[in-house]
Each structure stands twice: as C-alpha cells, then as structure tokens.
Amino acid sequence: MGNKRFMAELSSSCAQNQQLGHLKKENQMKKLASWVCCIGVLLTAMAAHAATPGKAIDKKIEDCSKKAVSTLDSESCLQQGYTDWDKELNVQYQALLKGQSAAAKKAIIQSQRDWLVYQKSYFAALDKFYQQQQGTVWGIVDLQAKLDFIRNKAIELNTMAASLDVSGGNG
C-alpha cells in the first residue's frame, strides 16, 4: 500500500509539472530536469519492486500446489514453502545487519527477537483458532497464514535494507 501511495503522489507531482503551461526557455530546462527526476524515481521504485525476494519460492509453491491431489499434498507444498521462506527470512535478516552501526544492529536484533516472541504467540493463536473449525481444509488455511506471515517479514526486511541502497540492488 505504501508503494501505491508513493506512486500516486509521484504521478500527481509529475502531472502538476506538466500543467504549468508555457514557460520561458530556462523554466523549460527545469521542467525537463523535473521529468527526468520523476522518471528516475519511477524506475528506481520499479527496480526495487522487481527485486522483491522469493519469487522463485512462490513459483515453486504454486507449481507444487497445482500438482497436489490431496489435502496432504497441499499441506506438504505449503510446509516446504514455509521452510524455504524461513530460510529466505534469515538471508534477508543477515543482509540487513551487514554494514550497520553497532547501535542500529543492536536495535534490529532486539526488534527481531521481539518479533519472534510475537510470532510464537500468533502461531499458537492461529492453531487454536483453526483447530476449532470443522474440515481438513483448515489445516491448509492455517499453514498458508503462517507462510504468509514469514514471507511478509522477509519482504519487509528486504525493503528496509533496499531503502538505503540507491543503486537499485537487493540491499
């Protein structure tokens, strides 16, 4: 949602620049520079979005799920996806810590420890909630919720690291 709002503001800013009307030659150069800046920001945002980690993991889960013929098969796909995303989360966490000041590193580590406590509590709540439901599909829904939780955190850490990398790399 943050990217959508950013893109809307960028579009609005670019539109305002376009509506300024007839400008003197020197102002036209400023307008051109503004457009180049807008395009640069747009390309950087697109590159950051394209660099979102785990696309291969999501594809693997999708392919596995298409082949699943039973609830157990579906659960197996999601469990493997969870494991893969958990590994990716750790990769993103280590990448984020790399090159940070001691104070920033300490704060990130504490934040991640707090998040792990929350994760444990949240997963316990998910289990209790879905175990009270009738039907085997709820095991799949439970696993998907856990997978999404881990996936979102991995992407969040990647986004945090990438926010400091103006070169458009992966952090």
The DSSP secondary structure of 103-148, one letter per residue, reads HHHHHHHHHHHHHHHHHHHHHHHHHHHHHTSSSTHHHHHHHHHHHH
Residue of 148 and 45 predicted with greater confidence = 148
CA 148 to chain CA centroid, Å, is 11
Average of pLDDT values for 60-79?
95
Report the range out of 17-21, 125-129, 158-162 with the highest average pLDDT.
Answer: 125-129
Report pLDDT for 163.
86
Lowest mean pLDDT among 5-19, 98-112, 155-169: 5-19
- Which band of pLDDT confidence, cut at 50, 70 and 90, is reported for residue 55? very high
Residue 165: pLDDT over 70:
no
Average of pLDDT values for 100-113?
96
Q: Are the C-beta atoms of 57 and 86 separated by less than 8 Å?
A: no
Report pLDDT for 145.
98
Mean pLDDT for all residues in the chain:
80
Which residues contact residue 80 at a Cβ distance below 8 angstroms, ignoring those fewer than 6 apart? 60, 61, 64
Report pLDDT for 26.
54
Count CB-CB contacts under 10 A for residue 104. Answer: 12
The closest of 150, 47, 159, 169 to 96, measured between CA atoms, is: 159
Average of pLDDT values for 108-124?
98
Name the DSSP class of 23: -
The closest of 117, 72, 91, 103 to 170, measured between CA atoms, is: 91
Report pLDDT for 43.
43
What is the helix (H) or strand (E) element at residue 155, kind and residue range?
helix 137-162
Predicted structure pTM score: 0.67
Residue 129: pLDDT over 60:
yes
